[in-house]
A and B are shown apart, each in its own frame.
Chain A
Amino acid sequence: MNVVVHVRLNALLRKYAPEGNTEFSLHIAERCTIEDLIGQLGIPPSQVGFAAVDLKCTPRSRVLESGDQVTFFPPLTGG
């Protein structure tokens, strides 16, 4: 089965964008979790504040499905 997700990298995480594209589609393995995807993208896990699927906060253990839009955000800041 071919699982394709749409990925968006936010703020500083953009530097991990393949070929400079901060929004891209990606083929992933079946049963791939968000945690696995972070590893596949080469992002140090500590640099991800949280992930959202369709802009909803989602645990990293979530198994991704084809068509999911996954957005990665940096840790929170605030002044």
Chain B
Amino acid sequence: MLQGYAGRMLFVDLSQGKIQEEPLDAEMARNFLGNYGIGAKVIYDRQKGRIDSLGPENILGFVTGPLVGVRVPFGIRTVVVGKSPLTATWGDTSSGGGFARELKKAGYDAVFFTGISEKPVYLWVRDGRAELRPADHLWGLDTTQTEDALRSELGDRRVHMASIGPAGEKCSLIACPIIDKYHAPGRSGLGAVMGSKRLKAVVARGTQDIPVADRESLREMTRQAMRSMSARIRSDPPEITRYGTCGGTAASVFSGDCPVKNWAGVGEEMFKTAERISDESVIAFQVKKDTCPGCPAACNGIVGVESGPYALQEAAKPEYETLGAFGAMLLNDNMESIIWCNSICDRYGLDTISAGCTVAFAMECYERGLITQREADGLDLSWGNHRAIVALTEKLARREGFGAVLADGAKVAAERIGRGSGVYAMHIHGQELPMHDPKFAQSRGWPLGMAYQADATPGRHTVATEDIGRAYNATGMCGIGQWSFKESVGRDRLGELLLAVTGLEYSPEDLKAVGARIACIRQAFNLREGLSPRDFRLPGRITGHPPFQGGPLAGVSLDMDAVVREHFQSMEWDPETGRPSRDLLEKLGGLEEVSADLYGGREGGG
């Protein structure tokens, strides 16, 4: 039996209403570890190319990793995988919360869905049993209402779940599932895939112990790691435990890291009030801390607004990305309105980055006279008008009025509006960009422009840019955990942790090979879709063409052709086509299907 894994995967055919179990293949687990590694391998092997993202053939997966559910701090990530309807590329997106641990302790490392259910359903997984249940009574509810209803219906407050709200039900291309009310695997539009399948929720409750290879060593290593990681987190700036990710928002605005005014502005000139949406200004609304299970950092929080138009009792503390997208990008320094917009996105099931950036696009169109106040349902979309921002976000979430024009992201909105508005839609292949300027990142040695343009899921900032980082991601450890583990325990000691959990030896070279396989198979997925590196191009405004005239990034521009070419060469991929070399695929092993598709030998490979 595999150690460190539940050892089984679920395959649910929603068209047929059938559920099948399969053992987790040991060689696949060895080669791809877990999370998006196993997700990519399963989907690549079982899915044809060029299928409709919102059709029955698209396989949607929820996958865990070997460090999930085995009492390793920070081992909590759920990754959601499938072909993205937003970008028509490989899609993966991950989040915290308790769902991954619960699914694994219920007996499954992953669950994959195909087909389209005739009626709304949810999947209920409990200790080795899984069943599809009707969800007609849940359809139309937001994610908070859905969670409350299901906890009541199942009679168990300890269930964890991923559910969609009305945005996913209506197949908004920027919709996402929400985990445990406040955690969003936001990117890639995979909430729309759930909606297209009429899959309202996946609910798990598990009490099983996951077998590990060496419990005593794991306990000792975990104890050491917790001690040093906790000390590191507490003592070093930024103090994640106090602020989470919101602590450096103002710093990001003034340094040039955070985009301002739909990527056209300079923070120090245009958004001098950024401190109103940063660190203490955010914490002022916090009513209690919140945390993923077993986490020493507790970066999350619950906020409330006591009075005024945005009064609410309980919502998630906005993350940095949300503060950027609904704050700096819109020149909005009204903290209460950002909390409200964040809550709308959580409840309707929307990615806050894409939603905020799409509102920014609308505001720029309004400023430039491409849309009128009448077309915008009477809203005055002037920069910083928080009342209009909130009203428009609600319309977007409900797909109502002018919100229906925006509900599928900036790229599609520009196609609907026309009038040359596309040049103001800041996206790459359909996905809005995160709140980190690649020009700034490049100056700090972080190859973010490459990640935005050359990764298989374009426009992402949390994707690893090195093979070892991809291996870390595949374990199920969250980003804050990875950072503190590398800093306090040691970057190269991941293999020791995996040995205690799985009983398998992973040298640093083995782990790099895992990361390289993951990069190759995700890239091969896109190549099979008929996509070429030439199809992916960051907007010139973002790469500094033309460069800013003032501010910290004045004069800075990126040569993206060179950046991508160098990346492909470093990966041993063809610098023009992005095709992994045959030698590389053979050297890595475990990629026979990819090699056959790219270089011949596989029949019916799509």
A residues near B (Cβ < 8 Å) are 10-12, 14, 46-47, 49-50, 52, 55-57, 71, 73-79
Q: Which of B248, B272, B461, B551 contacts A74 (CB 8 A)?
A: B248
Residue of B nearest to A54 (CB): B268
Q: How many B residues touch A, CB cutoff 8 Å?
A: 33
- Between A and B, 17 residue pairs with Cβ closer than 8 Å are A11-B238, A11-B251, A11-B278, A12-B243, A49-B237, A49-B248, A49-B255, A50-B254, A50-B255, A73-B250, A73-B255, A74-B237, A74-B248, A76-B238, A76-B252, A79-B319, A79-B479
| Across the A-B interface, the 3 shortest Cβ-Cβ residue pairs | A79-B245, A73-B251, A11-B279
A76–B245 CA distance with the chains assembled, in angstroms = 9
A71–B256 CA distance with the chains assembled, in angstroms = 15
* Residue-wise interface mask of B (217-254) relative to A, using a CB-CB cutoff of 8 A (1 in contact, 0 not): 00000000000000000000111101111111011101
Most chain A CB within a 10 A radius of its CB, from B238, B320, B436: B238
Chain B residues contacting A56 (CB-CB under 8 Å) are: 254, 268, 551-552
Q: Which of B242, B245, B250 contacts A78 (CB 8 A)?
A: B245
Residue of B nearest to A10 (CB): B250
Most chain B CB within a 10 A radius of its CB, from A50, A55, A56, A75: A55
B residues near A (Cβ < 8 Å) are 237-240, 242-248, 250-252, 254-257, 268, 272, 275, 278-280, 319-321, 435-436, 461, 479, 551-552
**Known interface pairs A55-B268, A74-B251, A75-B238; 20 further A-B residue pairs with C-beta atoms within 8 A, sorted by A's residue number:** A11-B250, A11-B279, A11-B280, A12-B238, A12-B239, A49-B248, A49-B255, A50-B254, A52-B254, A56-B254, A56-B268, A57-B256, A73-B254, A74-B238, A74-B247, A77-B245, A78-B245, A78-B252, A78-B321, A78-B461
Residue of A nearest to B271 (CB): A55
Residue of B nearest to A49 (CB): B251
Chain B residues contacting A14 (CB-CB under 8 Å) are: 280
Q: Which of B256, B272, B275, B320 contacts A79 (CB 8 A)?
A: B320
Rounded to whole Å, the gap between the CB of A11 and the closest CB of chain B is: 4
A49–B244 CA distance with the chains assembled, in angstroms = 17
* Complex contact B256–A73 (CB within 8 A): no
* Complex contact B254–A77 (CB within 8 A): no
Chain B residues contacting A50 (CB-CB under 8 Å) are: 251, 254-255
Rounded to whole Å, the gap between the CB of B552 and the closest CB of chain A is: 4
Residue of B nearest to A13 (CB): B237
Chain A residues contacting B479 (CB-CB under 8 Å) are: 79
